[in-house]
Amino acid sequence: MPHISIRNLNVTYDGHPALRDVSVDLPDGQITVIIGPSGCGKTTLLRCCNRLIDLTEGARVSGSVLIDGANILDPSADLLALRKKTGYLAQKPYPLPMSIYDNVAYGPRLHGMRDRRQLDQIVERCLRASSLWEEVRARLRKPAAKLSVGQQQRLCLARALAVEPEVLLGDEATSALDPLSAQLVEKRLIELRGRYTIVLVTHILRQARRLADYVLFLYLGELVEHGPAAEVFANPRDARTQAYLAGEVS
Amino acid sequence: MDRRRLEEAVFKALMLLSLGMLAASLGWVLLTVLVRGLPALTLEMITQIPRGGFYLGGEGGVLNAITGSLCLALGATAAALLLALPIVFFLQREYGGGSRLAALTQLSLDVMWGIPSIVYGAFGFAVMMYLGLRASLLGGIIALCLVELPIMARAMHEVVKMVPVELKESSYALGATRLETAARVVWRHALPGLLTAVMLAFGRGIGDAASVLFTAGYTDNLPSSLNEPVASLPLAVFFLIGTPFAKVQQRAYASGAILLVMVLLLSIGARMLARRHQAYVQR
Amino acid sequence: MSRGFRDRAAAAVMGAIALSCLLLAFGIAVALVLKSRPILATTPIGRLLFSSSWRPSRGDFGFYPFIIGTLWVSGLAMAFAIPICLLGAIYLSEYANSRLRAAAKPLLDMLAGIPPVVFGLWGVLGIVPLVSKLGTRLGSFTTGYSVLAGGIVLAVMVFPIIVSVTEEVLRKVPQEVREASLSLGATRWQTTKHVVLKAAFPGVFAAIILGFSRAFGETMAVLMVVGNVAIIPKSVLDPAYPLPALIANNFGEMMSVPLYDSALMFAALLLLAVVLVFNVLATLVLHAVERRIA
């Protein structure tokens, strides 16, 4: 059973179409990478999956996005529970204005966790899972703003993991990082595969080739082609996909 | 060619002259009041209330006015804070942001910002007359709150507007509600600016005379209850300087110096506080 | 109480507070109008505004001298302030380095934060004697408590608002516009004069209006230096009696003379009306400027 099913998704911004009639199933427990030239709707598609699209002015959404069978675009859907299920990594890391510990504990605390020892365990577990534990274990109470950009992005990953999501969404999550940090984050994501369904947006084709199990190619809002990474990269069927992969369109 | 450069040089000189005049006016005001006021300042002035005949040359001090102003300003600032903060959060996109109500509220705040404090005083007085109340600490607090509210709200709005939307999205993406995001993330990021706004309004509250003139009354006693009239420093200065006795006028200068020093300390303190809290805020 | 419920409840409370703020603004205008009704019922508004006869005990309430007094003092203040503030703001925006700009900001803030009564003190101690000496030099006697003293003190009080709004508006002019002019060989001053100021003109105009509005309503400082004599000033060395000072000085007698309180409330309403018109105008202009740039 596919984890995420998208059916007839249409998004317009102030009347301009950003996504046209997108329908696809995203496989469970795998890394799906959305590729395409800039402005083609990749981020829009991603933001529909955790309804961050609601926050964008002038956005009109129709169609359905089913996670575990339930349509999250339904107005009556439990938004808070949905957002707990989907973790989000933005391009630029935004640590919350609090200590490193509090950043990671923020999510669990929101959803009611109070027990000190449990929080400690979660914080350590998530920081380990994002490869940050060793670097910060001695200064958990210091402001998170003092970390380097690469560390901050790993902190955001830990923060996202702390609410025990099922899905991880990443919007160009390594684009703002130095190569070393980017590598670290990529390694983490690969290791998290299986336990989580991961959907990534990237404009770096090499990154897509490294990480993807499943590929979606978007062009001008249309889902042109999708399939297992090996197939799409080796034998793209559509001419536009071929052109993009060959580096002609960017 | 020469004329162009000459014109530029002339205007540049005029501009620098203007800047000099701006700076000089500040210096002149500070110096005049402090130089005439500080020497006339005695311990008695700040520790005693007026005794009999104080306004004619008798003993006493302006402790009644100092404490009165502090009470008025504290009350008014607290009340304004309770109103300004919710309004400013309401004006964010995710609450009432683009709605008609928000636009009208924004407009009314802008308008209220420009209303002279004497009009607030007159309004407060009219309301008090209608309700049969007399001049009191409470009346003064309400009128002063009306003066402080638009100032505080405007300063806070600027700060909250600047909170990056991505920061708020990070919180929403974790499943937080608007209230939780506001109460745990937004206010922390905006804290230095919010504190500055509060202190700005407080400073205005200590220094304003026109609004408390009708509504708070005046008394020689220390503030005792919300229903009694209360003295204020600006009015103390005003009353003292109106007398023909030189000795009493000295007291006016001293009171003015006290008021000025209080306001200056407040603004320096606000700046320092804001800088200390920058550590938790990125960018 | 679920989290969602708490969120919606909080939003409702915030909306209610915003609404009451709106109603409050209305309420102030309404209250003043209501309190002015008695005097408007007995005296035609033409007489109120244009008669010079001010004899409250006889029921004569002619506000003309006070209106003129206010205009004289505010107008003079603007005459001083506009050139100084514009030139200063232009320098800060177009010529000054960031260090100077950073130093100017706290100075302007400090000036803006000084209580009006302290400005009045400075006026009494520093300006009034100077004006008196000036009068003697010019051969016309004056105590120093005059329109001129009021104008100077008011000018200094409105410096911060005009400078800061003007500077903000000038900075909003896009850098590309300046670069286009400079790359054609214009000097910085020519660029400022012909391009930047022209582009920023509505905003600068709004800044001036805001300054005038502030000057119009200032009570305490002016009260202390302007003389408070209900005449129509013939020169800047004459005393005057601006509207806010009238209200402030006479509230004590308000209750003892019939219609006096209504007359003073009418004066407050006049002030409110003028300031309202100016402020709304200036705000609309500034918003339009913002939208044009965005």
Does residue A250 register a pLDDT over 60?
no
- φ/ψ (deg, to 5) at A60: -120, 125
Give the nearest partner residue to B15 out of C10, C91, C265, using CB atoms: C91
Residues 199-228 of C with CB under 8 A from B: 210, 213-214, 216-220, 223-224
A214-219 vs A4-13, strand pairing mode: unpaired
Give pLDDT tens digits for A137-191: 999 999 888 899 899 999 999 999 998 889 999 999 898 888 888 998 999 999 9
Closest residue in B to A149 (Cα) is B282
Q: Does C172 touch chain B (CB under 8 A)?
A: no
CB B142 within 8 A of CB B124: yes
pLDDT band at B278 (very low <50, low <70, confident <90, very high): low
Neighbours of chain C (3+ CB pairs under 8 A): A, B
What are the sequence ranges of the domains in chain A? 4-94+166-245
Our CA-based measurement puts residue A77 at a distance from the nearest CA of chain C, in whole angstroms, of 12
Give pLDDT tens digits for C174-217: 887 887 787 777 778 888 888 888 888 889 999 999 999 999 99
Closest residue in C to B19 (Cα) is C88
Are C87 and B28 a contacting pair at CB < 8 A? no
Q: Tell me what pLDDT residue A201 has.
A: 94
Tally the residues of chain B: 283
Our CA-based measurement puts residue A222 at a distance from the nearest CA of chain C, in whole angstroms, of 30
- In degrees, rounded to 5, the angle at the alpha carbon of residue A65 between the alpha carbons of residues A64 and A67 is 140
Closest residue in B to C21 (Cα) is B105
Q: What is the dihedral of CA A76, A82, A83, A84, to 10 degrees?
A: 140
Are B204 and C121 a contacting pair at CB < 8 A? no
DSSP state of A178: -
Q: Does C286 touch chain B (CB under 8 A)?
A: no
* Mean pLDDT, chain C cut into blocks of 10 residues (294 residues total): 85 91 92 90 85 83 91 95 95 88 90 94 94 89 91 96 93 82 79 84 92 93 92 90 92 77 90 92 86 68
- For residue C119, the domain's CATH number is 1.10.3720.10
Average pLDDT over residues B23-27: 95
What are the sequence ranges of the domains in chain B? 43-280
Q: Tell me what pLDDT residue B129 has.
A: 84
Asked if residue C33 is part of any domain, the answer here is no
Are B171 and A95 a contacting pair at CB < 8 A? no
Q: State how far the alpha carbon of B126 is from the alpha carbons of A189, B208, B218, C86, C262, in Å.
A: 68, 19, 18, 40, 10
Asked if residue C22 is part of any domain, the answer here is no
Give pLDDT tens digits for A16-75: 899 999 999 999 999 999 998 887 889 899 989 888 888 787 888 999 999 888 888 888
In this structure, how many other beta carbons lie within 10 angstroms of the beta carbon of residue C223?
Answer: 27
Interface test with C, best of B90, B149, B266 (most C CBs within 10 A): B90
Separation of first and last alpha carbons in chain A: 34
**A80, containing H or E segment:** helix A79-85
Average pLDDT over residues B166-192: 89
In this structure, how many other beta carbons lie within 10 angstroms of the beta carbon of residue B120?
Answer: 28
Q: Does A180 touch chain C (CB under 8 A)?
A: no
Asked if residue C177 is part of any domain, the answer here is yes
Give the nearest partner residue to B123 out of C32, C216, C224, using CB atoms: C32
Q: Tell me what pLDDT residue A121 has.
A: 93
Closest residue in C to A111 (Cα) is C3
Separation between Cα atoms, residue C146 and residue C150, nearest integer Å: 6
Interface test with B, best of A86, A96, A104, A152 (most B CBs within 10 A): A96
Q: Does C273 touch chain B (CB under 8 A)?
A: no
Neighbours of chain A (3+ CB pairs under 8 A): B, C
Give pLDDT tens digits for B220-263: 889 988 889 999 999 999 989 888 888 888 899 999 999 999 99
Does residue B276 register a pLDDT over 80?
no
Average pLDDT, chain B: 89
User: Which residues share a beta bridge with A199?
Assistant: A32, A169
Q: Tell me what pLDDT residue C240 has.
A: 93
Backbone CA torsion sign across A106, A110, A111, A116: positive
Asked if residue C13 is part of any domain, the answer here is no
Q: Tell me what pLDDT residue B283 has.
A: 46
Chain B residues with beta carbon closer than 8 angstroms to that of C10: 178-179
Residues 186-245 of B with CB under 8 A from C: 200, 203-204, 206-210, 213-214, 233-234, 237-238, 241
Give the residue numbers in A contacting B (CB under 8 Å), as ranges.
50, 52, 55, 57, 80-84, 86-88, 90, 92, 94-98, 106-107, 110-111, 143, 145-146, 156, 159-160, 163
Give the nearest partner residue to B127 out of C31, C124, C125, using CB atoms: C31
Q: Tell me what pLDDT residue B242 has.
A: 84
Separation between Cα atoms, residue B72 and residue B140, nearest integer Å: 7
Are C21 and B23 a contacting pair at CB < 8 A? no
Domain hosting residue C143, numbered range: 45-293
pTM confidence score:
0.84
Q: Does A80 touch chain C (CB under 8 A)?
A: yes
Q: State how far the alpha carbon of A6 is from the alpha carbons of A83, A205, A212, A236, C205, in Å.
A: 17, 24, 19, 22, 54
Q: Tell me what pLDDT residue A85 has.
A: 86
Q: Tell me what pLDDT residue A2 has.
A: 63
Give pLDDT tens digits for C56-83: 888 788 899 999 999 999 999 999 999 9
Give the gyration radius of chain A's Cα atoms: 18
Separation between Cα atoms, residue A203 and residue A213, nearest integer Å: 16
Closest residue in A to B97 (Cα) is A57
Class of domain B43-280: mainly alpha
pLDDT band at B275 (very low <50, low <70, confident <90, very high): confident
Q: Two tokens at B56?
A: 């004619």
Are C115 and B208 a contacting pair at CB < 8 A? yes
Chain B residues with beta carbon closer than 8 angstroms to that of C106: 271
Q: Two tokens at A7?
A: 């059916």
Which of A112-121, A208-217, B55-64, B231-240 is least confident? B55-64
Q: Is the ipTM beyond the 0.95 threshold?
A: no
Are B32 and C283 a contacting pair at CB < 8 A? no
Residues 6+ apart with CB under 8 A from C172: C200, C203, C289, C290, C293
Residues 42-81 of B with CB under 8 A from C: none
Chain C residues with beta carbon closer than 8 angstroms to that of B126: 31-32, 35, 265
Total tally of structural domains belonging to chain C: 1
Are B173 and A98 a contacting pair at CB < 8 A? no
Interface test with C, best of B4, B16, B18 (most C CBs within 10 A): B18
Per CATH, the number for A4-94+166-245 is 3.40.50.300
Give the nearest partner residue to A96 out of B93, B165, B170, using CB atoms: B170
